[in-house]
Amino acid sequence: MFCCPQPSVQSQDRHRHSVARLNSSLSYVVQIQCVTNDKCLQCPQSESYTVPQELTSPPVIVKHEDTDVVGKTGSRQLSLTWTFPATEPNDGYYVTIVKASGEDPRERISVTEPEITLILSYSAYHLNISAVNNASTSPAVSLTIPERDGPPSAEEKLSVKVHSNSSFTVYWKDDLIKTYVCFSAEWRKKGQKAVTSMSFHQNEDNFNTLTDFTEPLEPYKRYSIALHTRPEKRTCNIKYINNSESTYASSHFYFMEGSPVSGPNISSYNVTLNSVVLQWLSIPEEDIRGFLLGYLIFYTENLHRGTSLERNVTVDPQSDTYELGDLKAGTTYQVQVSGFTQAGVGVRSTACVFKTNHQGYFHPNLSALIIIFAVVATVLIFSSPLIKRAKVVLWPSIPNPGNSYTIQKMERPGEMELFTSIFSTLKIEEWDTSSLQIVEREDEVPPIIVPLVLSFHHDSEDEDSAERTCNWIQSASGGDDAPNIISNLPTSTFAFSSEYTTMEMFQQAMPQVAPAVDTAISQTGDSSDAQDTTVVKTSLDHVGQLTSNSN
């Protein structure tokens, strides 16, 4: 008897009973108890048995890695990780894997964690993952593991010779029978998922002939084939999928080849006097109908009268461009390209017509390049004078007095010593005067630049209230009176308005020489024109200094 939210149910079967109309989203607790009778008056209940809710969500794959196995050629490691909703408790997971060819076995692996690692060959596989508990199995998530090409090799290790649409022989180069005796061949038509496989035992030769296919081979269709080796020697049918075989090599074959039924799309560019570059797109795989051995380029001169001899050039199947040379200048050509297989030359492409350049033709791109070069060269040649002229017009330069040959700032000790030596030997001549007047000496000389030759004019009528004192160094006109030498007179400190004036240089060069002041009052016949003049006479006859003092 089952204990559940519904009334108890009595089972007629001594070993099993089914309870219907349950809610799959709920969990149930079940207890079993025997039916009392005269022989058994007391029947205790069994331990509780929990029936979990039904699993309704499939797992979700979150990680899928397909990597090579180090040190094991032809094998790959498949790592999978998935998640499952926590609201649906489960006891574990089932991982079911089978070869895409349908070859037995169909292996099911039970895991408790949501992850698994498998060692597989380069064959294609179908894989399902589902969660399980003691009441149900969740919907499965499916994954197809695509096949890989065989391990890379410098030479073709596997070849096929077709005898008919239901028979061919597989050849391999290495002496595999020393290590393996069980093999499996898988082939399929290119572009399709259906895979045909056959396992066989071979311990004598490095080839094996396969016959009696379930699906015959089709002409003009490309097939891929892979050869797998199996370490199990007792039986060539694998007992399990994981880590059971490795891939030796893969190749391609045709039951019957044909010539291509279409040509590539062709275009031309970079036309010159005697050459042109041709470019084309590859022929679609389904139109080649065989192993493409190369391309043929057919070209003829397009003449209005008569016909011209057609010429052709062969290029390798990997090429998609070719420079056609040795052409005539100013001539129109027609070019076509076609592929060829072992069965013959295929359909030609649509004709491409072009005309080579005439003699003296100047390519527009080259012309533009030369013009740009000429402009740049012209700018480089004439830009410097133009920039200088523009600078003179727009930004006139201010001369630097320091660079003048006439006005130089004397900073070198040799020049200062020379001028000091010259002026220290000057002798001041004293003129005979009838009276002596002492004028007030200025501490600073106004920053006025006075010409070397001064002409002094005094107008008493315009400036009656002004007093003027003139220090005039003038040339001696000669005379009978000998000059008196005055030395050790007090010197004055001068303030200069700038560094580059001729008078200031002389003042700078005469720090130890003070002018001997003789005051001479000359009176003319008219008393109203009287002038007060201070005259200092030296042996220099070409320097004059005028200083005015206005009260």
CA distance 551 to 543: 26
pLDDT of residue 384: 72
Q: What is the pLDDT of residues 143-156, one digit of tens each?
A: 999 999 888 765 78
Quick one: tokens of 76?
Answer: 């790959």
Band the pLDDT of 194: cuts 50, 70, 90. Answer: confident
Classify 403 as helix, strand or coil: helix
Say if residue 432 is in the same domain as residue 518: yes
Q: Which DSSP string corresponds to 260-296?
A: -SS---EEEE---SS-EEEEEPPPPHHHH-S---EEE
Beta strand 471-473 with 531-538 is: parallel
Same domain, 346 and 378: no
**What integer is the mean pLDDT of 384-389?**
72
For residues 347 and 389, membership in a common domain is answered with: no
User: Are residues 342 and 286 part of one domain?
Assistant: yes
Q: What is the pLDDT of residues 283-295, one digit of tens each?
A: 998 999 999 999 9
Same domain, 418 and 548: yes
| Average pLDDT over every residue of 102-107 | 88
Q: Which of 485, 470, 483 is nearest to 533 (CA)?
A: 470
Domain span at 341: 266-355
315 within domain boundaries:
yes
Q: Is residue 151 part of a domain?
A: no
514, 547: one domain? yes
Q: What is the reported pLDDT for 504?
A: 55
The pLDDT of residue 514 is above 50: no
261, part of any domain: no
Return the number of other C-beta atoms located less than 10 Å from residue 7's C-beta. Answer: 6
Asked, for residue 66, whether it belongs to a domain, the answer is yes
pLDDT cut 70: percent of the chain above it: 65
Q: Please indicate, yes or no, whether residues 193 and 319 belong to a single structural domain of this protein.
A: no
Q: Both 392 and 463 in a single domain?
A: no
Only one residue has tokens 């077709």, namely: 162
Is 31 found in the same domain as 107? no
- Is the same domain home to 113 and 202? no
CATH of the domain at 273: 2.60.40.10
Q: pLDDT by residue (tens digit) across 440-488?
A: 555 544 444 444 333 444 443 444 433 443 343 333 344 444 444 444 4
- Determine the average pLDDT of the residues in 189-202: 89
Lowest average pLDDT, out of 15-24, 418-427, 468-477, goes to 468-477
Predicted structure pTM score: 0.59
Q: Is 221 or 460 the better-scoring residue by pLDDT?
A: 221
Please tell me which of 188-202, 229-243, 474-488 the model is most confident about, judged by mean pLDDT.
188-202
pLDDT at 265 over 60: yes
Highest mean pLDDT of the ranges 219-223, 358-362, 388-392, 426-430: 219-223
Residue 542 lies in a domain: yes
Q: Domain boundary at 117, 145, 173, which?
A: 145
476 and 547 in a single domain? The answer is yes
User: What confidence category does residue 3 fall into, taking pLDDT thresholds of 50, 70 and 90?
Assistant: very low
pLDDT at 551 over 70: no
Q: Between 534 and 378, where is the model more confident? A: 378
| In a shared domain, residues 111 and 184 | no
Please give the structure tokens belonging to residue 116.
């698994």
Q: How confident is the model at residue 20 (pLDDT cuts 50, 70, 90)?
A: confident
Which range, of 108-117, 193-202, 291-300, averages the lowest pLDDT?
193-202
Averaged pLDDT score across all residues of the chain: 76
In a domain, 259, yes or no: no
At residue 503, the pLDDT reads: 55
Long-range residue pairs from 57-60, CB within 8 A, at least 24 positions apart, any chain = 57/84, 57/85, 57/88, 57/138, 57/139, 58/130, 58/131, 58/138, 58/139, 58/140, 58/141, 59/83, 59/84, 59/93, 59/114, 59/129, 59/130, 59/131, 59/138, 59/140, 59/141, 60/84, 60/141
**What per-residue confidence (pLDDT) applies to 395?**
66
* Structural domains of the chain, count: 6
**Does residue 402 sit within a domain?**
no
The most confident of the ranges 1-10, 152-161, 318-327, 473-482 is 318-327
Is 336 domain-assigned? yes
Task: Write out the DSSP string of 348-361.
Answer: PPPPEEEEPPPTT-
Name the band, by pLDDT with cuts 50, 70 and 90, for residue 417.
Answer: low
